[in-house]
A and B are shown apart, each in its own frame.
Chain A
């Protein structure tokens, strides 16, 4: 029988068990890495780096996890804050003349062109991630959590530390922007 998340968390906190933590990582790495790919315009390297950082930060803060929210929500909260600070740093770098986030991403896509072509089945996921990349980070996160992860608005509000009303606005505006984006893209495809 698989131990519960709470049992694994207790083992990490009380016995500093790396095995228990590795088990938690194995359980949550796939959805977290996927979500981060969706939120970073399918930049696999960046998403994996952020996921790794998320788990390392989660390990050091695990004793503060009170079990009030789901472990996955807690992880998303850490990942979201890391992602925001990554993009903040990237924007600052952009101002000081470094590579922009989008340039970094297109450079990454150029370097990984063969891989992109060989994974046709992932095209839909990748396309949507790239369309979502034109929304703000907050809209992306709110839309992803709401429509893909099916989180409640209260859960999203807790994860993103924003009021419930703001969550609703982000989702409504995000959907409208994405719809517009996809319509433009589709009309571009048809012409």
Chain B
């Protein structure tokens, strides 16, 4: 880049030169690699994915049922609950906060 002889470098003309001499990148299998990767991803279809998730969830539930004292834990649950206006407000507030957080997360997760 020792073409410039004056001390002031003209950035605009430097970029103009780059623009005019921009090399054309040969594909050389680049697009093929992408399509192959997409095909590999597509092989695991939505239904297969859902089936695998359900299967493992079921196995997990069975294991949990076999190893944890489910009956004793169930007995710990209260047989009745009292809902006060304050607890309703707290519940509503928490739901609103969770919705705001979800919206914010989705809104800021830009591609």
Contact = CB atoms under 8 A, between A and B. Distances in A.
A105 to B, nearest CB: 19
Contact of B1 (A48, A77, A128): A128
A186 interface: yes
A124 B21 CA distance: 9
Interface in A10-27: 16, 18, 21-22, 25-26
Interface residues of A, number: 42
B100 interface: no
Contacts of A55: 34
Majority secondary structure, A binding face: helix
Majority secondary structure, B binding face: helix
A51 B27 CA distance: 12
B11 A178 contact: yes
Interface of B: 1-2, 4, 7, 9, 11-12, 14-15, 17-19, 21-25, 27, 30-35, 37-39, 41-42, 110-111
Interface of A: 16, 18, 21-22, 25-26, 29-31, 33-34, 48, 51-52, 55-57, 59, 61, 64, 77-78, 81, 121-125, 127-128, 147-148, 150, 161, 175, 178-179, 182-183, 185-186, 189
